[in-house]
Structure 1
Amino acid sequence: MKRLFHSVIAPLRRALMSGAGPAVRGRFLTGVSFAVFFSTLYPLPSTLSAQSGGQPAQFMSYGAGARGLGMGGAFFAVADDASASYWNPAALIMLEKKEATAMQASLFADTTLNFFTYANPTASRGTWALSMTQLKSTGFEKIEITPNPAGDEIIDIKSLGTFDNTERAFAFSWGREVSDKLSFGVMAKNISRRLDTSKDSFNAIDIAMLQKFSKIYRMAMGIQNVFSIVSGDTDDKLPLTLKLGQALSLFKGGLVFGFDIAKPQSAAMNWRFGGEYWLMSWSALRFGVMGAPAIQEADFGVGIKYRNFGFDVAQGVHALGSTTRFSVTMRMGRSNRAKHEKEVRDIIRQAMQYFKSGYFTKAIAKLKSALDSDPGNNDIRRMISRLELAVGYVPDATGGEEVPTLTRRGIISYVDGNDLRTAVNVLRHAFNKAPKNDRLLSLLNMVEKEANLSELTRPPEGPQIFTYIDQRTYDARQSIYDGKYDLAMKRAQDILDLEPNNETALEIMGSAFYLMDQKDKAGVMWEKVLEINPNNKIVRQFLKQTK
């Protein structure tokens, strides 16, 4: 590019300085005007370019998509459509369907800016996108000058036709959620420039993140050109650029505001602010301003959408006049969010089938698979945590026999977590049927501790046929003998939780009430005993003492 400039502009400048004729001056001024035009084009208006220090690939900071440009380019944290592949790759995770966007902007003097992107959400909570951005100017006059070797005067000027200036970028973008509130993205891009026969290219990497602090506020940060390689006819280097964006979404997304700031290396900071208001579900109004630091451009735009199609128009007003941008968007296929949610539901359904059948280890494996697909699902995370505790004692409880059935019911109740007392009672019943099962006892004790029970179930003492009910009955009677009537009632209640019609437990509870001088309650307990066993003569004698 330097070679072309000196071969064309420098001789013209010397000719003008030496008093060349009006035709030469006209051609020279035409060349100068094009040079000034390119120095002021990216980003618009000219003052903004001056603030950037004339850095390479400025067309990549112009913007993409009429929707974002209608908001003044304040779209870094707002982006939730396919143009996020340009603005912020971390925001690609906002897309629910496959989406394609194309934009065309007519600038000045046969100069156009075109943008196309295709974004594809995947089942792995990530979205990839391909994009192309191109700035092209045509109709530059190419001339050949023959100077006098003996002096500065020009012997001949010959027109060689016209040439074009083209700057083009191809990019691959990828964004992925790491949680329901945080996502990261990366863009790999190739930027090429061609001015007549001079050409060069840049390969660079951008990184970005998006943090959702709430349903109405999110923030984005990014670094552009964090890594770059240059090749071709240039000494230029892509500037390292830091970006920060904020988005505020009100009225369920009906009103959105965006504010971005960017600081290119060796250039002044610039800022952008804009808003979007959806009049109805299908039509929107937009506005925006950009500055560096004074306001340099004002933008406004409109957008409509119908089913899977969208059309946006943006108008920019600045010192050089105004520019119009059009873009169309098409969404395709089934909603990725709906598809993803169905996949998670199917996995959970399989997990619950294993869970209810007592295949707890298989259930955990399925639940972990569901959590990998939906890491923000705290219900699944909690279920895995509680089930892993239970599986540490009882890996599985399958079959239709009484003990595994009771164990399964107890673990299901424990994992549910809404009624630990029920879980304790069912597991106690299971242990009463299998008093030699040490693993079951350990599980029962763990659940009893979590239920904050002061007295834990212990292994039966005495003969091998001594069951949990036998042990509890013995303990309750012993408490009566020791004068610990409250404890006796508690131990009797433990029995009644498992066997509501246990005659002995009702008798002990009645005795405890009687000894606590609560004869009415004692009478109620003993009457229940007689309902169960009318031939209980001892209790009938006790009952007479309450009247």
Structure 2
Amino acid sequence: MKIKFFLAALLLVTQAAFCGISGMPVEVINHGAGVRALSMGGAVSADSADASASFWSPAMLDSINTNQLEASYEMLYGGAIFNALGFSGPIGKMGGLGVSIRNMHYGEYEVVSEEGNAEGNEAMNDFMLTGAYGRNLFAGVQGGLALKAIVRGIGGKNYMGFNSDLSLSKSFEWGRASLTGKNIIPLGIKYDFSEEMLPAAVRLGLSFMLLDGALKINTDAEKAFAGGPAVICAGAEYKVMEPLYLRAGMGSIGDVNEINAGFGFKYEGFGLDYGAAYTELSLNHRVALSYSFGGYELKLTPDPAVFSPMGGNRRTYIKITAMTKYEIFKWKVEIKDNKGKVVKSWEGAGRPDETLIWDGLEKDGMPFNEGDYKAVIVVTDENDAVIRSGDVIIKISQGDQKAIPLFME
């Protein structure tokens, strides 16, 4: 009979599964998905409308508006490697779909007999394939289901297991809440002479939007029904400017703590995410590349982006692109100065106007001060979901601008 020593692997997974149920069987099902998510301490179950949604909360797939593809790489303790490839996309009013494949490679470990004689090395790998679906259920409540197939490879043999996650999510004006039941089927991994049950757990997540959506503060808590310490984690993301995001997070599993940080950069559908995680065992680095394409779009396009209320171009024409999955119930466009004060707003019911005109004048006819102004559109759809566009900058200059607007009066 052979005895396989996986001490290094056990040390690894204790910190690799941070903000999941640590020390449970098949850690690949607990190691978080997405570099953005892990940079925020894993506190994203209510803020995962991206390619990682099938792992954190499949209900969030209904909130995805574009097709998203992401590949990530992570070097872990002792030379172990974690790789993931995920895709998610909308399917109209039927909701959204997601699929991912994950691999945890633990490296090679020495095999010894009961007598202590070395008998060579063996490798250990975990794979997990996930397919998920999410859609609106009622009154803005979204539901989702994820089906998981797990393969554990040890010494040339593969052992299979299956399970499922179920989640609910709902958006509010202040943010979003999510509730997920993990491994809800009493199944596990079957070995030659035994079976390891996959740990059933419940996870609650909250996401709060502050500073007009530029700052997100999230918190998650998870508890396994089999016992053990609860998982508590928190994270934040700040949009420095439209393409650049800074992130940080931390949390605890009993007396094990982890501190995370990272950044993200997005441009023309392409994304680069980097994250670092510090524990008592090691400092791990994570990187991911992503690409978003197609789907739905909500944005404002000012023309010209720089104008002078007293010059040649005395107004700007703001084109509204409002392609949403569900019908728009109401909408609001706001323009704010650099202190966050609303200087101009429009609102209405149903689909918004195609173009809005702003003359840059106060009520008394005097022009607003020179500087940058932020414009954003916020819509509430028929399911009571709140969707917010990215900010666009409109600049008022007292100089005489020569640009000719594309949208004519």
Same-fold status (TM-score > 0.5):
yes
- Aligned pairs for 1:444-455 (under 5 A) are none
SS in structure 2 at match of 1:132? strand
* SS of corresponding position for 1:221: strand
Q: Which structure has the highest helix share of the two?
A: 1
Give the match for residue 220 of structure 1: 178
2:275 counterpart letter in structure 1: A
Verify: 1:284 aligned to 2:245, yes or no: yes
CA deviations on 1:149-196 (whole Å, 9 max, x unpaired) are: xxxxx7xx4654x32100010010111012463101110001111110
SS in 1 for 2:59: helix
- Structure 1 ranges of 4+ moved more than 3 A: 45-49, 141-145, 157-160, 228-232, 336-345, 374-378
SS of 1:136 mapped into structure 2: strand
Q: Quickly say closer, same or farther: Cα 1:89–1:226, change in 2 above 3 A.
A: same
**Matched-pair contact (CA < 8 Å) for 1:42–1:61:** no
Selected match of 2:229 from 268, 276, 286 = 268
1: CA distance between counterparts of 2:295 and 2:240? 26
Inter-partner Cα distance in structure 1 for 2:242 and 2:223: 36
Structure with higher strand content: 2
Alignment partner of 1:249 out of 209, 229, 251 = 209
Question: Superposed, which structure 2 residues align to 1:194-213 within 5 Å?
Answer: 194-212=153-171
Give the match for residue 318 of structure 1. Answer: 279
> How far does residue 344 in structure 1 lie from its aligned partner after superposition?
5.7
Give matches, 1:69-108, under 5 Å: 69-108=38-77
**Structure 2 CA distance, aligned partners of 1:129 and 1:226?**
19
- What secondary structure, in the 3-state scheme, does the structure 2 residue paired with 1:38 have? helix
Determine the C-alpha separation between the residues in 2 that align with 1:241 and 1:273.
Answer: 18
Are the aligned partners of 1:205 and 1:228 in contact in 2 as well (CA < 8 Å)? no
Which amino acid letter does the alignment assign opposite residue 156 of structure 2?
A: T
Q: How many residues are matched?
A: 308
Separation in 2, partners of 1:46, 1:84? 17
Aligned-residue offset at 1:343: 9.0
Unaligned runs of 5+ in 1: 1-5, 10-30, 148-153, 346-373, 379-547
Aligned match of 1:297: 258
Match of 1:59 among 6, 28, 38: 28
Deviations 1:255-296 (A, max 9, x none): 001100000122221111000001001101111001024461
What is the deviation of 1:139? 2.8
- Cα distance, 1:251 vs structure 2: 2.4
Q: Is the 8 A contact 2:113 2:119 kept in 1?
A: yes
| Aligned 8 A contact 2:17 2:32 in 1 | no
Deviation digits for residues 468-521 of structure 1, max 9, x if unmatched?
xxxxxxxxxxxxxxxxxxxxxxxxxxxxxxxxxxxxxxxxxxxxxxxxxxxxxx
- Sort the Cα spacing of 1:295 and 1:239 in 2 relative to 1 into closer, same or farther, 3 A: closer
Distance 1:184 1:48, change over 3 A: closer
How far did residue 334 of structure 1 move? Answer: 3.8
Matching residue of 2:142? 183
Aligned with 1:44 (options 5, 9, 15): 15
Distance in 2 between residues matched to 1:92 and 1:252, nearest whole Å: 23
The alpha-carbon deviation at position 8 of structure 1 amounts to: 3.2
Change (3 A) 1:142 1:339: farther
Distance 1:250 1:125, change over 3 A: farther
Residue 307 of structure 1 deviates from its aligned partner by 1.4
Which one-letter code corresponds to 1:319 in the other structure? Answer: E
Q: State the alpha-carbon separation in 2 of the partners of residues 80 and 46 from structure 1.
A: 21
- 1:168 & 1:68 partners in 2: Cα distance? 20
2:161 aligns to what SS in structure 1?
strand
- Normalised by the size of structure 1, how large is the TM-score? 0.52
> How do 1:97-246 and structure 2 match up within 5 A?
97-142=66-111, 157=117, 159-160=119-120, 162-179=121-138, 181-212=140-171, 214-230=172-188, 231-233=190-192, 234-246=194-206
CA contact (8 A) 2:54 2:61 kept: yes
| Partner SS, residue 88 of structure 2 | strand
CA distance in 2, matches of 1:196, 1:377: 52
Q: Which letter maps to 2:176? A: R
Residue 84 of structure 1, CA deviation:
1.0
Residues 89-147 of structure 1: CA deviation (Å, up to 9, x unaligned)? 111122111111111100022310111111120112400111111101223234568x5
Distance 1:320-1:301 versus aligned 2 partners, 3 A rule: same
Distance 1:278 1:111 in 2: 32
Provide the TM-score with structure 2 as the length reference.
0.69
CA deviation after TM superposition for structure 1 residue 215, in Å: 2.1
Instruction: Say whether the 8 Å CA contact 2:19–2:232 is kept in structure 1.
Output: no
- Matched residues, percent identical? 22
Listed as ranges, the gaps of 5+ residues in structure 2 are 299-320, 329-380, 386-409
Deviation at 1:242, TM superposition (A): 0.7
Which amino acid is the alignment partner of residue 143 of structure 2? F
Distance 1:47 1:244, change over 3 A: closer
Give 1:340 deviation, angstroms: 6.0
Q: Is the alpha carbon distance of 1:67 and 1:180 closer, same or farther for their aligned partners in structure 2, counting shifts above 3 Å?
A: farther
Pair 1:80–1:108, CA change in 2 (3 A):
same
